[in-house]
Amino acid sequence: MIDIAAGVNEQFANLSNYLVYSAMAVYTLAFLAHIAEWTFGSRSKVARSSAALPAGSGTSAPAVKVTKRGGGTAVLERPKVVTRGGDDRGIEDGKGAAGGDEQGELYGRIAISLTVLAFALHFGAVVFRGLSVDRAPWGNMYEFSVTLGLVAVAAYLVLLALGRSVRWIGLFLVTAVLLDLGLAVSVLYTSSDQLVPALHSYWLWIHVSCAIICGAIFHLGAVATILYLFRDRYEVALAAGRANGRFASVWARLPAAATLDKFAYRINAAVFPLWTFTIMAGSIWAESAWGRYWGWDPTETWSFITWVAYACYLHARATAGWKGRKAAYLALIGFACFLFNYYGVNVFIVGKHSYAGV
């Protein structure tokens, strides 16, 4: 139990607010830079000859490459491992937003630098919010949203830093984070304050921070899933020789449907245990705060629904006839449940989980 020296450091609280607005301004610049990246990219040859034609799949006979060096000695390279995917169509990943266009590429890099800068400001905002009240900065919906956006960007930047090819997600992520922050500062804003005793618990750190991480990462998974659905349709059209819809040049620059699908699966599968843990931690907290570990409170119910929806998705991935688009819809349903649990239940249905002042 944390006994609160009932103070709020107003200076820190104000600083936090300024930092949120600054971060939003810089995210907006990053957003514009991404738009420029995609726009310039659409000029590129790759985008115009929208056919990212099926690359020969691994049917070619593998062979040992022999490279002759100057002296005439044969240096043997190791034999190549030939892979063949189970489900993919053998279509290669798109070339990315810039589509190989130099100017587009430049703007893409500017966008990422701006995202890093905005992330730093955003991070500062969360830290000072926490410092202003000496507690974890996720005690109400405003703080939850701001932190969730931060974690989503952090996950993206970490993947980038690890050298994963996730640049394609940049524009969509920055857009979503801007929406999230916009909603936070306008509708959900709550000024910095202490919490009611029921929220004074180290489970606040554990349970809520896990929920935030899950939300942020499920969010990345959902973005990938949506893009998968578009790209999948594009690839089907491509195979049928009519891939010249309005956004064909956008879809052409995305990774292959199979790649997006795998990315989404790995993201969702990786957070699923954490989401399970989040619910369990919540139950343990509920047990110590309210005297029961499960009481079908609306928030509990929707966490359960979200959990079952994602379990459905994982099952669908392992069931013939359900892979691909159907599974993707289930993943989106899961994410919609998560969002509803967070916005819908907190705002429209009042349960025991009422955050301090929304």
Partner 1 sequence: MSTTDTDAPDSGASDAAARALSTAPVEEAEPESGSGDGPAGGPRLGVLGWARWFWRQLTSMRVALILLFLLSLAAIPGSIIPQTSTNPVKVSDFLKSHSVLGPVYTKLGLFHVYSSVWFSAIYILLFVSLAGCILPRSWQFIGQLRGNPPRAPRKLDRMPAYATWVTDAAPDDVLTAARGTLRRRRYRVAPGEGSLAAEKGYLREAGNLVFHIALFGLLIAFAWGTLWKSDGTKLVVPGPAGGFTNNQTQYDDLSHGALFNPDDMAHFGLTLDDFHAAYQTSGPTKGTPTTFYADVTYFGADNKDHKTRIRVNDPLNIEGNKIYLTSHGYAMNVTVKDGKGNVAYSGPVPFLPEDGNLTSQGVIKVPDAVDSKGKPEQLGFAGLFTPTTTIDPVMGPQSTFPALKNPTLFLTAYYGDLGMDAGLPQNVYVLDTASKNLHQFTVGGQPLKMPMVVGDTLKLPNGAGSITLDGVSQWADFEIVHQPGIDLALGSALAMLVGLAASLFIQRRRIWVRALPGADGRTVVELAGLGRTESPKAAEELARLVDVVHAQAPSVPEEPASPSTTAPEDSSDKEHA
- The residues in 274-333 that bind ligand HEM, with binding defined as CB under 6 A, are 311, 314-315, 318
Please list every residue from 163 through 182 that binds ligand HEM, using CB under 6 A: none
Token pair 């919609």 is at which residue?
336
Per this entry, what is the length of the chain?
Answer: 358
Residue 316's binding partner out of ligand HEM, partner 1, none, with CB under 5 to 8 Å set by partner kind: partner 1
DSSP state of 197: G
Q: With binding defined as CB under 8 A, does residue 265 bind partner 1?
A: yes
Between CA 198 and CA 289 the distance in angstroms is 7
Q: With binding defined as CB under 6 A, does residue 74 bind ligand HEM?
A: no
Q: With binding defined as CB under 6 A, does residue 266 bind ligand HEM?
A: no
Q: Which of 26, 28, 221 is nearest to 125 (CA)?
A: 26
Q: Least distance (Å) from partner 1 to the CB of residue 24?
A: 24
Which residues make Cβ contacts (< 8 Å) with residue 72, sequence separation at least 6? none
Using the minimum distance from each CB to partner 1, give the nearer residue, 49 or 288.
288
Q: With binding defined as CB under 8 A, does residue 283 bind partner 1?
A: yes
Q: With binding defined as CB under 8 A, does residue 74 bind partner 1?
A: yes
Q: Which of 269, 177, 143 is nearest to 214 (CA)?
A: 269
Residue nearest to ligand HEM (CB): 318
Alpha carbon 337 to its chain centroid, in Å, reads 16
Q: With binding defined as CB under 8 A, does residue 293 bind partner 1?
A: yes
Q: Least distance (Å) from partner 1 to the CB of residue 193?
A: 5
Residue 51's binding partner out of ligand HEM, partner 1, none, with CB under 5 to 8 Å set by partner kind: none
Which residues make Cβ contacts (< 8 Å) with residue 141, sequence separation at least 6? 184, 188, 190, 342, 346, 355, 358
DSSP calls for 294-317: ----HHHHHHHHHHHHHHHHHHHH
Please list every residue from 182 through 211 that binds partner 1, using CB under 8 A: 191, 193-194, 196-198, 200-201, 203
Using the minimum distance from each CB to partner 1, give the nearer residue, 61 or 240.
61
Chain residues binding ligand HEM by CB under 6 A are 311, 314-315, 318
